[in-house]
Structures are given as C-alpha cells and as structure tokens.
C-alpha cells in the first residue's frame, strides 16, 4: 500500500510479485522441520564431493518445528577472507560458483540465501561448510531445461537462443519493444560473461569486473519497458546467483 501511495518504485519492478514471493519465503524460513529436510538432502548430495562441500547432519530426535539441532562444523565466514592469499580466495570463489550451478542443474534444489555467514570455509581441509537451509527450494525439470538454454546462449553469445528461451520461460511476452529486447539480452550476457573465456582453463578476474556499472546502465530501460514480471522461480534464484557473483567480486577471486 505504501509503495502504491508513495510511488517510489517504477512500474517495471512489479513490486507486488516480489512481495508475494518474499512473504512465502519468510514463512518457509520459520519452519524448522522443512529446513531440516532440506539440510538432510544437502548432506546427502554433498557426499559426492567430500573434498569440496559439507552440510552438517541434522540431529533428528532433538529437532522439531521450532528447534533445529545439527552437528557442529568449523570454519570462518567467507567475507572475512579478503586478506588471504590469492589462491585461497580463488578456491573459495570457485567453490561458490560451482556450488551455485551444481545445486541448480545437478541437485535441482537450491539454498537461495547468499548471506556469507551461511558458508564457513575450513582452511585446513579446503572444504566449504554449508549452513542455513531455510531458504531451500526445488526447481522443476521443465523450468531448468529451458533456463539452461538461456545460460548456454549467454555462454555462446547466441542472441536468438537467449531471446527464444527467455520467451518460453516467461521472461518476455514477445510484444516488447526493441529497447527492452536489447536490454534483456544485455542483462543475460552480463550474467554469462565469466564463462566466455577463450579457453576452459582461463581465469576470469572478478576483482576487475564492472558488473554493477553494466547493470545500472540497463535498469532504467528494463523498469520502463518490461511488460511482464519475471517467473516466480527467478526472484530467489537470481538473488543467489547475483549474491555469489558479488561475493567473488568482494574477494577479488
């Protein structure tokens, strides 16, 4: 109501949809039985990468809807690693990026809160300990099969693939003007930039990336000309992806 009265957000942000998604997520985060179930799924999923990730076990007989009890894990919050050697920051950045897309396309479940306190890096083992699964959510095969086409389009610099897949997902209606189409394509290409290296082993320097400046340039166009809100799955998904990128930038990975 206040947003409508004050008019502080442009129409293209579709703030009602954002608030509705946030409301559901907040209720979910207050249910520790739900969180315990996601944490157990992550614990089992991390077994395939024991030298990379670990999610602590849930102590089921001591947990309920209002109390979540788990085993203890050690490590330091990743946003305290700014002064560590480059190889340490690269290790953590790589783990964060790999986790983000492995969650999405292999496990088909994602912890969508990129709060750096949710990731504890154990410098002795090189393992990233994962915490706080209240923001866990599932994604359907139908959504992921099309979303990965958008990501691959950004990797391959294929505008037609990006636009066609975005239309199928509901990012676009097909009635957008040229300005909006160009802004959308540019936004997707910005997200795919770290993957467009000449050789698979080439390093991408997040420390010199100007993601923020590039995004700021297209926001006015997208706010003014967007005709439909993004798919509901995208709000929390992009919060995680953007948060992961920003952490890599902060660590200069």
Q: In this structure, are 149 and 243 located in the same domain?
A: yes
Distance of CA 203 to the CA centre of its chain: 21
Last residue of a domain, one of 117, 138, 159: 138
Joined together, the tokens standing for residue 225 give 């000309």
Which range has the worst mean pLDDT, 38-47, 114-123, 189-198?
189-198
User: What count of other Cβ atoms lies within 10 Å of the Cβ of residue 129?
Assistant: 20
pLDDT of amino acid 98: 95
Average pLDDT over residues 12-39: 82
Last residue of a domain, one of 138, 173, 193: 138
* 3, pLDDT greater than 60: no
- Is 113 known to be catalytic? yes
Angle, alpha carbons 174-110-98 (nearest 5°): 95
Domain around 160:
140-251
pLDDT of amino acid 78: 96
178 inside domain = yes
Average pLDDT over residues 30-49: 94
Q: Which helix (H) or strand (E) holds 160?
A: helix 159-169
CATH (domain of 60): 1.10.510.10
47 inside domain = yes
pLDDT of amino acid 219: 86
* 5, pLDDT greater than 60: no
pLDDT of amino acid 1: 56
Last residue of a domain, one of 94, 112, 138: 138
Q: How many Å apart are CA 249 and CA 93, to the nearest integer?
A: 9
Q: How many Å apart are CA 53 and CA 121, to the nearest integer?
A: 9
* 61, pLDDT greater than 70: yes
* 16, pLDDT greater than 90: no
Q: How many Å apart are CA 95 and CA 126, to the nearest integer?
A: 10
Helix (H, G, I), strand (E, B) or coil at 127: strand
Q: In this structure, are 121 and 205 located in the same domain?
A: no
* 4, pLDDT greater than 60: no
Per-residue pLDDT of 182-209, as tens digits, reads 999 999 999 999 988 777 778 899 999 8
How does the average pLDDT of the chain come out, rounded? 90
The reply to whether the predicted model has a pTM over 0.75 is: yes
pLDDT of amino acid 23: 83
Per-residue pLDDT of 131-174, as tens digits, reads 999 999 999 999 999 999 999 999 999 999 999 999 999 999 99
Per-residue pLDDT of 223-236, as tens digits, reads 888 898 888 889 88
Number of domains in the chain: 2
The pLDDT-based confidence of 29 (bands split at 50, 70, 90) is confident
Q: How many Å apart are CA 145 and CA 134, to the nearest integer?
A: 25
Catalytic residue among 74, 113, 138, 164: 113
Q: In this structure, are 131 and 185 located in the same domain?
A: no
Which range has the worst mean pLDDT, 2-6, 39-43, 181-185?
2-6
């Amino acid at each position: 109501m206040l947003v409508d009265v004050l008019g502080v957000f442009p129409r293209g942000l579709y703030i009602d949809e954002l608030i509705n998604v946030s409301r559901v997520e907040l209720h979910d985060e207050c249910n520790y039985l739900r969180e315990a179930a996601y944490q157990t799924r992550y614990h089992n999923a991390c077994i395939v990468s024991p030298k990379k990730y670990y999610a602590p076990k849930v102590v089921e007989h001591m947990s309920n809807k209002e109390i979540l009890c788990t085993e203890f894990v050690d490590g330091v919050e990743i946003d305290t690693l700014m002064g560590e050697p480059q190889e340490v920051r690269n290790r953590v950045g790589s783990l964060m990026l790999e986790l983000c897309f492995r969650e999405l396309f292999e496990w088909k479940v994602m912890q969508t809160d990129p709060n750096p306190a949710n990731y504890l890096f154990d410098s002795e083992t090189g393992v990233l300990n994962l915490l706080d699964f209240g923001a866990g959510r599932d994604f359907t095969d139908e959504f992921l099969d099309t979303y990965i086409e958008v990501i691959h389009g950004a990797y391959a610099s294929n505008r037609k693939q990006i636009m066609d897949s975005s239309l199928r997902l509901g990012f676009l209606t097909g009635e957008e003007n040229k300005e909006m189409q160009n802004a959308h394509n540019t936004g997707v290409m910005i997200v795919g930039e770290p993957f467009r290296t000449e050789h698979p082993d080439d390093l991408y320097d997040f420390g010199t990336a100007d993601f923020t400046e590039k995004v700021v340039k297209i926001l006015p166009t997208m706010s003014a000309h967007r005709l439909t809100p993004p798919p509901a799955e995208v709000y929390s998904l992009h919060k995680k992806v953007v948060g992961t990128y920003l952490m890599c930038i902060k660590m200069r990975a």
